[in-house]
Structure formats: C-alpha cells, structure tokens
Amino acid sequence: MAKKPVVRMKHVPQRTCVGCREVLSKRQLVRIVRTAEGVRVDPTGKLAGRGAYLHDKRSCWARGLKGSLAHALKTDLTNDDRVRLEEFMNSLPEAETEG
C-alpha cells in the first residue's frame, strides 16, 4: 500500500502583546527592544537585545507604558525612552469604534 504524502505546515512564530496579552503571529506586532543605547522601536524585528511586543493600537501602548513593557524588558524606562515611545504611540491611528 502506498503512503500518503505528508503536507507540512510552515511554522509561524507566535508572540504575546504585553499590553492586552493577546497571542498573535510575530509579524502582526511591533517589537520594542532594549539595547545598550536605551529602549527602541525595532521595525525590522532583528535588532540584538531583549525584546517585547505590542499591537499597533494606542490602547495597548498606553497600557504597556504603565509598567508591563518595562517589566517584560527587565529594565526601568528612562524619561528619554518614555518620550521616544510616546512619540511613536502618538503616530499610531486612534482605535476604531465598533458600532
């Protein structure tokens, strides 16, 4: 008897948003990385350093900046880091209201 061909599914890395705790594919989230120069947004997702992930929603960023982001990165956010991240957060679109 002939064997059935095995169809392999491609592995999709999963990450958790530190703002709302929702698990999504890595590509759907924004990576924030702790480097020697401070905390930065990592658009490529490949910078060296400890990383954490957030949705591209202001609500998740606001929740993350209250403390869960610093906890995930195992560091304290300096004023410069906070200003840089808030500037990025303010460039994000407002949350859509469902009605």
pTM of the model as a whole: 0.83
What pLDDT sits at residue 3?
80
**Domain span including residue 49:** 14-91
Convert the pLDDT of each residue in 38-67 to its tens digit: 999 998 889 999 999 999 999 999 999 999
The dihedrals phi and psi of 77, each to the nearest 5 degrees, come to -80, 125
Residue at 20 is within a domain: yes
CATH number of the structural domain spanning residue 22: 3.30.1230.10
**Total domain count, the chain:** 1
Q: Is the pLDDT of residue 95 over 80?
A: no
- Per DSSP, the residues of 40-78 read EEESSS--SSEEEEE-SSHHHHHHIIIIIHHHHHTSPPP
Q: At a CB cut-off of 8 Å and minimum separation 6, what does 53 contact?
A: 15, 16, 17, 18, 26, 29, 30, 31, 32
- Structure-token match 């209250």, residue found: 66
